[in-house]
Structure 1
Amino acid sequence: MLQSADVEAHGLQGRILWADGTPAPGREIPEASATPAYVLIHGIGVSHRYLRRLHLKLAADAPTYSLDLPGFAGTPKPGRQLSVEDYGAFIAQALKASGINSYVLVGHSMGVQFAIETALYAPGQAQRLVLMGPVVDSRHRTVRRQALALFLDSMLRESPSSNWIVFTDYLRCGPRWYFTELPVMMDYPTELRLAGITAPVMVLRGSHDQVAGPEWSLMLSQAVSQGSFVEVPRAGHVVQHLRARQVAAAIKSWAAPPTAAS
């Protein structure tokens, strides 16, 4: 079960969600939970819902939060187009206001871009970054190519349940806000901005992902000084829904603090 609370930061309104047993926003996190929290960030047009399975897997071992960002998932539509930097500032400020001061950012699709900007805005708080299905692949730098890749992925590689969540979230978002933010996603220089990240980074993709290809994803993992690359077999772009257990295991193994033996 996920609980939610509205949050306001950077002049914007969004929503933060957490699982039972996780400290609620605004409540002091006890010393026993000294490990960084996981913060899950959705992509364009969607919500926390397609991250829910991964959220619950991660929440079994560590404080875990998901976000519904301004303009998406029924949250209030901002009065202007927001940049990726605007979203990064919102996330960092909303987490700080909620008492979440140390975290591993887990972004999916355009959420990868949001995670990068959050880490650049608050480098002292973002301990690690997980970039799942990063956009925009250098092969898909036009809206037409990006749309074709997404269409092929949804038709050939995704499950009916993940498609239902994504498409119904698109309806909740509405075409106006989706197409307001689409050029922002397309124009964002992911590889250039990622080069400014000093924290460890893991790039993760489904092996059948039509949107984030293997060469592009591997290149991003090599754009940082502490980069790792993971492929999850037999999964498409929404890898965290179809293969939640494998994705969670990869993230937890990579993010775990080193033991004395290691």
Structure 2
Amino acid sequence: MQPTLRTVRVDGLSLRIRTTPGPGSPASPRSPYVLVHGLGMTHRYLDRLRAELAADAVVHTVDLPGYGPGPRPRIQLGVEDHAALMVEALGELGVRSATLVGHSMGVQFVTEAALQSPALAERLVLIGPVVDRLRRTVLQQAVSLAHDTLRESASANRIVLGDYLQTGTRWYLRQLRSMMDYPLERAVERLRCPVLVVRGGRDPVARRAWCQELATRAPDGALVEIEGQPHVVQHSAAARVAAEIVAFSRRTALPS
């Protein structure tokens, strides 16, 4: 089913949220999924995952201010700012509790949202998390990203390049500074909800040791690897990633 697009204005900034209905008559209501993109990206590379998860529950896909079409904010927005905007926008749509799913820099956004609004985050799914604390330089990240490009499918690379061009170099670089500075490894230690870390088995950006460290640092964390897949694993192996997320959601659901 096609998603419904709504634009929510928060503090003069626009967030575009696409909502895809879940199953028609589930036996018991399930909390929604909220999907959040990474640096330079939009909802588009999350569309395959969105479609898979919509078989289980309602899915909201967020485009944050400055990403995709439309004007760029005149002010600098850090990870904390984006998280606060997202929490408020979801609240305006009536989303009070959800499974928050982020990819790459989107991991930072959903982690910070969970810290700012613990009631919103029933659980977190961190796909291809950045930035590895042992590889926290722009050069190291650029080399890893270039390496990953050679492992991605043509369709994934087309989406990534198209979104990068649309977002633009200036906004990308402004956001890059925030991404590099965010201490994800310390943030996950403060989480109060279950955490699932997901990585592609051939992801050179989010490496195994780093992902295992995050899962271990989280008070209630687990790691899943999708064998043979690169960084944009939610696009290349959407069905497998969705199955892991749904299983995690059901495994950590509180009794009604």
TM-score normalised by structure 1 residue count: 0.92
Distance 1:240 1:234, change over 3 A: same
Match of 1:252 among 225, 243, 246: 246
Q: Is 2:43 the partner of 1:48?
A: yes
Distance 1:44 1:234, change over 3 A: same
Partner-residue secondary structure (3-state), 2:217: coil
Distance 1:258 1:240, change over 3 A: closer
Q: Deviations over 1:91-150 (max 9, x none)?
A: 100000001111000000000000011111110111000000000012321101100000
2:3 match: 2
Distance 1:258 1:220, change over 3 A: closer
Contact kept in structure 2, 1:54 and 1:245, CA below 8 Å: yes
Task: Give the whole-Å Cα distance in 1 for the aligned partners of 2:51 and 2:104.
Answer: 20
CA drift of 1:8 comes to 1.3
Identity over the aligned pairs, expressed in percent? 46
Contact kept in structure 2, 1:69 and 1:75, CA below 8 Å: no
2:69 match: 74
For structure 1, the 5+ residue unaligned runs are 24-29
Match of 2:60 among 65, 73, 87: 65
Contact kept in structure 2, 1:10 and 1:89, CA below 8 Å: no
TM-score normalised by structure 2 residue count: 0.94
Distance 1:188 1:258, change over 3 A: closer
Task: Give the whole-Å Cα distance in 2 for the aligned partners of 1:37 and 1:68.
Answer: 17
Task: Give the whole-Å Cα distance in 1 for the aligned partners of 2:251 and 2:22.
Answer: 22
Task: Give the whole-Å Cα distance in 2 for the aligned partners of 1:143 and 1:258.
Answer: 36
CA drift of 1:9 comes to 1.7
The one-letter code of the counterpart of 2:16 is R
Match of 1:34 among 29, 48, 64: 29
Match of 1:136 among 131, 139, 146: 131
Distance 1:21 1:212, change over 3 A: closer
CA drift of 1:32 comes to 7.2
Q: Is 2:241 the partner of 1:241?
A: no
Partner-residue secondary structure (3-state), 1:256: helix
Which has the larger displacement, 89-98 or 6-15?
6-15
1:216 match: 210
Q: Is 2:169 the partner of 1:168?
A: no
Match of 2:224 among 222, 230, 233: 230
Distance 1:135 1:36, change over 3 A: same
Match of 2:141 among 133, 140, 146: 146
Partner-residue secondary structure (3-state), 1:6: strand
2:197 match: 203
Match of 1:178 among 157, 169, 172: 172
Which has the larger displacement, 137-146 or 59-68?
137-146
Task: Give the whole-Å Cα distance in 2 for the aligned partners of 1:108 and 1:250.
Answer: 15
Task: Give the whole-Å Cα distance in 2 for the aligned partners of 1:33 and 1:9.
Answer: 32
Distance 1:237 1:258, change over 3 A: closer
CA drift of 1:44 comes to 0.6
Q: Deviations over 1:202-255 (max 9, x none)?
A: 000000001000000000001111101000011000000000000000000011
Task: Give the whole-Å Cα distance in 2 for the aligned partners of 1:189 and 1:135.
Answer: 9
CA drift of 1:3 comes to 2.4
1:87 match: 82
